[in-house]
Chain A
């Protein structure tokens, strides 16, 4: 019985964190926030070299053969650092192929995804708050006709795994006929999302796509929970740091008990959720009966906690907290993304209620 991460897992977090510090420091993240790409080529290249692009891809296909917990720990670290880039969609596309693809599809795509030769992404949403597999309406056969929404980095992707009614998941290759993508104007400039339209676009069914689609959803929820945890921690740390530096009434503001208690409450909200996201990640691989419900509860709970912490963090910084210049906005907006992508907390609470038989 060991409810803790291993030394290797700690090392993974440390190396990812070091990489971001070298390749994409805060100054660079701020530059990215001035644009709309949500992308840093050097950082993604470094992540690929480090193996972060193929964490859950089995070793026989050139990946690291690790588990959901490793993937989630990487997500936490990326979020803590505010790292931009296509990690989330890429990880989910790889997992969709691992869980749902034919042997031939796996051999064709997984090594390229693991080695970063191709970027993967997932097209799940359909607009009007439709995210969940059971809601998908886009019909999937040998071609696609229709639209998907909020697809990460679709214009850069070499392969898009598309959620469809019926077979669950289909695969569309870059350059397939009839695809058009259009970028959204997003609040979180460390991410990029597109609409993807298909006009008689050829696609391939993933043979195990129906079952895999649910697992991909659960994986997305765990990764968003982990991301939100990393963001919440960062926001808290920023506030504590500021409270030790900023002076008013002749003392640092951390002396004031009202503020101290606000920060203590933020810590009380975020710190205990670390174990929740670890557990949700662990059961994804090890206790599959519990996985869907834990993923739903973790996503709902942690993204909500972090969103409130982000609001508190603005207040804790005073006037500067409301500026573009203040770094709080980076994680505030990341929290908004994490909360909404794949469905808001109340959607997943209701799902959790149903799964409990309530």
Chain B
């Protein structure tokens, strides 16, 4: 065990900090641009310098660097220190881009990757349907190849950012005669067409981040398929793997815990500052045990993957660990809020673990932590995975393993 980075890496840290000090915060013309545009330009520069999008080839706008988890970590630390923006965290760059890089055609990478990581192309994920959630492979949205176009009919639901999206990566049933998992294709569908209707779904928080999407003879060119016909299920597994990793980030758990301690400093509880109350102190320190476990598990996994070793069962636990922490933190926060726990939440535009907006931000967090627990696979589904893949217990019995209908 050695928590120092060593000379080579400390030199690299100095290099990154040096580059940052001359490029962030933005100067001159760049500083005049609106926030989003300035951030996009900064990201492109940082990619060119090899600090962002490191696993993405230069021809697609990436930093193209040999894999080096430690350098990646140093960059995260250095950027966080000066609050410089990292890679855009949209569903497209987090889930679609890694999938395209692994499974896409050359022209698809050229067409989509650069715009997506720069934030010019916005994506949504069209997986869930009214009748197909946990049992995703039962999905029924139909895709037929007619001439040189796919024609798509069906309904998607819970589709986050569908309102803003330019494109949808979508699972459709294209081979109705094939068994359930073998009949699915992974299509890329332009959202801005008349045959697609997006209707927002109001969440319990009052906001509307997700939507229903109706596809009625929607069209996309025949070559807008990732993988071959009928391979959509295995292509989608690539994407889900990335979704679960991104939800499992321990830095977020630490940040939200800091916020909780700050809240305990300013709240009153049993007639005194909450932080002085013995039960609150116990609960905080109890939660910190979970957060530190999650954090050091993360470091251990980070080392294992840097060495190219299998991380083992812990790799299956990140999503549920971090969503459990998010729930526990927000439950304690609600106790600290006391009377303010009756107020309406501030609605978030973004799915985020970080509460902002004072006490009403915590109320949003109190509810949103549940949304995040469901999104990307519910707790029960995660426990199935841990039990079956992690502990080697027998698989659940599914009644309709074979039929596509």
Chain A proximity of B166: nearest CB distance (Å):
38
Q: Verify A260–B293 contact, CB threshold 8 A.
A: no
Interface residues of A in 238-288 (CB under 8 A from B): 240, 243-244, 251-252, 254-255, 257, 260-261, 263-265, 267-268, 271-276, 278-279, 282, 286-287
- How distant is the Cα of A203 from the Cα of B47 in the complex, in angstroms? 68
Show 23 residue pairs from A and B whose CB-CB distance is below 8 angstroms, ordered by the A residue: A1-B5, A2-B1, A2-B3, A3-B1, A4-B300, A4-B307, A5-B1, A6-B1, A254-B393, A260-B391, A272-B294, A272-B297, A273-B293, A275-B295, A275-B299, A282-B3, A300-B285, A349-B281, A349-B285, A350-B285, A353-B281, A358-B281, A358-B284
Q: Verify B296–A353 contact, CB threshold 8 A.
A: no
Identify which of B299, B313, B317, B380 contacts A3 (C-beta below 8 A): B299
The yes or no answer to B231 lying at the interface (CB within 8 A) is no
Interface residues of B in 361-404 (CB under 8 A from A): 380, 382-384, 386-388, 390-394, 396-397
Chief secondary structure at chain A's binding surface: helix
B313: A residues at CB distance < 8 A: 267, 271
Pairs of residues from A and B, 10 with the lowest C-beta to C-beta distance, nearest first: A301-B289, A275-B296, A349-B285, A260-B387, A272-B293, A3-B299, A264-B383, A353-B281, A254-B393, A264-B386
Chain A proximity of B8: nearest CB distance (Å):
11
- How distant is the Cα of A179 from the Cα of B284 in the complex, in angstroms? 43
Q: Verify A297–B303 contact, CB threshold 8 A.
A: no
Q: Verify B286–A349 contact, CB threshold 8 A.
A: yes
- Given A263-B387, A276-B293, A276-B296: A286 in contact with B281 (beta carbons within 8 A): no
Q: Verify A346–B394 contact, CB threshold 8 A.
A: no
Nearest residue in B to A279 (C-beta to C-beta)? B296
Q: Verify A272–B314 contact, CB threshold 8 A.
A: yes
Number of A-B contacts (CB under 8 A): 154
Q: Verify B281–A264 contact, CB threshold 8 A.
A: no
Most buried by A among B298, B300, B382: B300
A272: B residues at CB distance < 8 A: 290, 293-294, 296-297, 314, 317, 321
B19: A residues at CB distance < 8 A: none
Q: Give 8 A-B pairs besides A3-B303, A287-B3 with Cβ atoms closer than 8 angstroms.
A: A2-B2, A69-B1, A257-B396, A264-B383, A268-B324, A282-B3, A350-B278, A353-B284
The yes or no answer to A352 lying at the interface (CB within 8 A) is yes
Interface residues of A in 289-311 (CB under 8 A from B): 294, 297-298, 300-302, 304
Q: Verify B275–A358 contact, CB threshold 8 A.
A: yes
- How distant is the Cα of A356 from the Cα of B293 in the complex, in angstroms? 17
Interface flags, A160-177, vs B, CB<8A=1, else 0 = 000000000000000000
Nearest residue in A to B286 (C-beta to C-beta)? A349
Q: Verify B297–A274 contact, CB threshold 8 A.
A: yes
- How distant is the Cα of A252 from the Cα of B5 in the complex, in angstroms? 48
Q: Verify B285–A297 contact, CB threshold 8 A.
A: yes
Nearest residue in A to B261 (C-beta to C-beta)? A358
Interface flags, A76-114, vs B, CB<8A=1, else 0 = 000000000000000000000000000000000000000
Chain B proximity of A115: nearest CB distance (Å):
28
Interface residues of B (CB under 8 A from A): 1-6, 9, 70, 73, 261, 264, 275, 278, 281-282, 284-286, 288-290, 292-300, 302-304, 307, 313-314, 317, 320-321, 324, 380, 382-384, 386-388, 390-394, 396-397
A274: B residues at CB distance < 8 A: 297, 300, 314
B70: A residues at CB distance < 8 A: 1
Chain B proximity of A62: nearest CB distance (Å):
25
Q: Verify A263–B288 contact, CB threshold 8 A.
A: no
Identify which of A252, A267, A275, A350 contacts B293 (C-beta below 8 A): A275
- How distant is the Cα of A352 from the Cα of B286 in the complex, in angstroms? 10
- How distant is the Cα of A149 from the Cα of B344 in the complex, in angstroms? 55
A267: B residues at CB distance < 8 A: 313, 317, 386, 390-391
Chain B proximity of A15: nearest CB distance (Å):
19
Q: Verify B289–A297 contact, CB threshold 8 A.
A: yes
- How distant is the Cα of A4 from the Cα of B380 in the complex, in angstroms? 30
- How distant is the Cα of A5 from the Cα of B396 in the complex, in angstroms? 36
A346: B residues at CB distance < 8 A: 282
- Given A265-B383, A271-B317, A301-B290: A252 in contact with B3 (beta carbons within 8 A): no
Identify which of A1, A264, A358 contacts B3 (C-beta below 8 A): A1
B261: A residues at CB distance < 8 A: 356, 358
- How distant is the Cα of A198 from the Cα of B391 in the complex, in angstroms? 52
- How distant is the Cα of A104 from the Cα of B73 in the complex, in angstroms? 48
- Given A268-B321, A271-B317, A349-B282: A3 in contact with B302 (beta carbons within 8 A): yes
Chain B proximity of A232: nearest CB distance (Å):
12
Q: Verify A278–B393 contact, CB threshold 8 A.
A: no
Q: Verify A252–B296 contact, CB threshold 8 A.
A: no
Chain A proximity of B236: nearest CB distance (Å):
23
- Given A4-B1, A274-B297: A353 in contact with B285 (beta carbons within 8 A): yes
A273: B residues at CB distance < 8 A: 289, 293
Q: Verify A1–B282 contact, CB threshold 8 A.
A: no
